[in-house]
Amino acid sequence: METLLAITIGCLVAAGVYLMLARDMLRFLFGLTLISNAVNLAIFASGRITVGGVPPLVPEGEKYPVGDVANALPQALILTAIVIGFGLFAFSLVLAMRAYSELGTLDTDAMLLAESNDEGDKA
Amino acid sequence: MSWYLTLPLMTPFVVAVLAFLLRKNGVGRWVAVVGSLIGVGLSALLFMQILRDGVVVGQMADWPAPYGITLAADLLSGIMVMLTALAGLATTLYATSEIDPELEDLGFFAVLQLLLGGVTGAFLTGDLFNLYVWFEVLLISSFGLLIMGGTREQIDGAVKYVTLNLVSTIMFLIGLGFLYGATGTLNMADLRGAVDASEQQGLITVLSMFFLLAFGMKAAMFPLFAWLPASYHTPTSTVSAIFAGLLSKVGVYSLFRTFTLIFDNDVGYTHTILLWVAGLTMVAGILGALAQTDVRRVLSYQIISSIGFLLMGLALYTPLAIAGAVFYLIHNIIVKVNLFLVAGVAERLTGSSQMSRMGGLYKTAPLFSVLFLIPAFALAGFPPLPGFWAKVLLVKAALDVNAWVMAAIALSVGLLTIWSMMIVWTRVFWDPHPDGLEPTLSDLGDDKWPLLLPIIALGAMTILIGIFPQNFVVLSEQVAAQLLDPQPYVDAVLGAAK
């Protein structure tokens, strides 16, 4: 199971990096989403994958869960990360839309307005 | 639970809500000013408590460490929280005149308070995942502040700022995930023991590089600084000032925290990389500053070279070097906020931030020119201003460990900083205005005092630190001792569990 997950994560990262190398901002953002999902899966894997295991419940009279259980904490971390990632992605998409309507392009190479050093340009 | 820790953290969020609800008719701005004032008081209380007890620790909802969320403040956190509150007060006051009602209706003051809350949280947390969450809080509020106003330049700068910061966030998250996988804990104090006990020291070193990349990108270290000069000059001066003073310093703080507390097992490898990066950051920053024609971009590049000085202190990793870096950090936050506020007023008086379109301020506003010279000389390192003492400590520390090259770089970068400040002085203050304008301070009208008061106060603080450096040097040495021997910190956090 871990092997399968590792291959999946590897593919997601590879695709994400490929997209992020593009000059188009939208592609970059899609790549970023793929990588952040890959990271979430990696954290998920770090909490142990159980096949046919039991839920991490503490039986009555015991102090800790018994049997083949997964660590629930990484899953809680992922939930937080997903929520945060969603918020940031939503913001970035709106920013991309705004950039397209204001600057007329999503090609990051053409976005040089703030970095122009031309003294006469902006008085 | 220690109220000393939670109050400075909760206040900005409460003030943000109030300032947002009362934002009509200009009431919210004064709520924000009063709230920031309370924040300064609370952070001073916390600082006094830290001086008395050493490390102040609070466990949320009494879940013992390392299972619950820990807030922990040692001297470094205490200093940073206090500087955050001071910078917040100065910029909020300044903003009351600079921000137009339109931005106020959008909730400018509320978002500014959220940013301060996020920064304070990052300084106070004792848990790495919690640090990640605070990073997001301050990041999303900084996005808001950066694009408020929505000019084309702002959107352009924001694209670079947002995308590159998101990449660093992901790096941070990967590092976190794997570190948890390798050690089974994310509590920083607990991590120290867990990392020491780990059998996979090679893996830990690799993981430390994720954190170096993530925090380094936030701190704008070489070669990851491109987003900073692309965006810091685009928003309002208030926002530039608070970003310049605090945001990159959060990255530096996190590097100091993680690379003294957690990743100090392979100093020969990690801190050598840091040393190289520090030197390159200093040089790249100051060369960039010399090439710029917009006054706020000059100042932005100078931030990068100061980050180099801070990293140099961490990289040399001796008590004196870290003390020097902490002293530099204290003065740099005050000075950088001040410089951007001064630049904002100069821009308002002369009508542009392009140096070719500015000038004549020395003739018509000589006192204001002095207010520029104080932070400018402090940054350049003129005695008796604090930048001088900080550089003395850092260069001495470099010479002590025979790091001749680093000492030489630090000194030459100091010289180039003076040159770059001289360019600003000549073109903005000394030369006559190209259009023959003769701007005076009374042109500011009713806004004069809210704009000038923060500048005067920060200038006075700069001079005070410069004239009485002894107290601050002793304090910095205490911070360095705490950072280099974190056992009391670890005991305070984990001991509270027993």
Residue of A37, A115, A116 best to disrupt the B interface, most CBs of B under 10 A:
A115
Token digits of residue B141: 């509020």
Residue of B nearest to A42 (CA): B177
CATH code of A28's domain? 1.10.287.3510
Identify the contact set of chain B against chain A, taking CB-CB distances under 8 A: 129, 132-133, 136, 139-140, 143, 147, 150, 152-160, 162-163, 166-167, 169-170, 173-174, 176-178, 180-181, 229-231, 233-234, 291-294, 352, 354-357
Helix (H) or strand (E) holding B405: helix B404-424
Assign residue B61 a region (left: φ > 0; alpha: ψ between -120 and 50; beta: otherwise): left
Look at residue B269 and tell me whether its pLDDT is greater than 80. yes
Q: Which residues of B touch A20 (CB under 8 A)?
A: 167
Q: Nearest-CA distance from A63 to chain B in Å?
A: 15
Around Cβ B168, how many Cβ atoms within 10 Å? 21
Domain for residue A63, yes or no?
A: no
Helix (H, G, I), strand (E, B) or coil at B438: coil
pLDDT tier at A123, thresholds 50, 70, 90: very low
Q: Please write the tens of the pLDDT for every residue from B403-419.
A: 999 999 999 999 999 99
C-alpha distance from residue A89 to each of A31, A83, B213 (Å)? 11, 10, 21
Domain count, chain A: 1
The mean pLDDT value for B116-133 works out to 94
Range of the domain at A79: 2-51+69-107
- Confirm whether A57 is domain-assigned: no
**Cα B218 → chain centroid:** 10
Q: B143 to chain A: which residues are within 8 Å by CB? A: 91, 95
- Chain A (83-122) residues lying within 8 Å, Cβ to Cβ, of chain B: 84, 87-88, 91-92, 95-96, 98-99, 102-103, 108, 111-115, 117, 119, 122
Residue B364 clears pLDDT 90, i.e. is over it: no
pLDDT in tens, B230-263: 999 999 999 999 999 999 999 999 999 999 999 9
pLDDT (0 to 100) of residue A117 = 63
What ipTM does the predicted assembly reach? Answer: 0.90
Residue A121 lies in a domain: no
* DSSP symbol at A81: H
> Is A20 part of any domain?
yes
Task: Of B247, B235, B16, B240, give the one whose Cα is nearest residue B146.
Answer: B235
Number of C-beta neighbours around residue A69 at 10 A: 16
In a domain, A78, yes or no: yes
- As given in the structure block, the two tokens for residue A69 are 């259980």
pLDDT tens digit string along B380-439? 988 889 999 999 999 999 999 999 999 999 999 999 999 999 999 999 988 888 888 777
Residues 6+ apart with CB under 8 A from B7: B42, B45, B46
Task: For residue B299, give both structure tokens.
Answer: 């100042």
Residue A62 within a domain? no
| Cα B493 to Cα B64: distance, rounded to the nearest angstrom | 9
**The two structure tokens encoding residue A63:** 């102090």
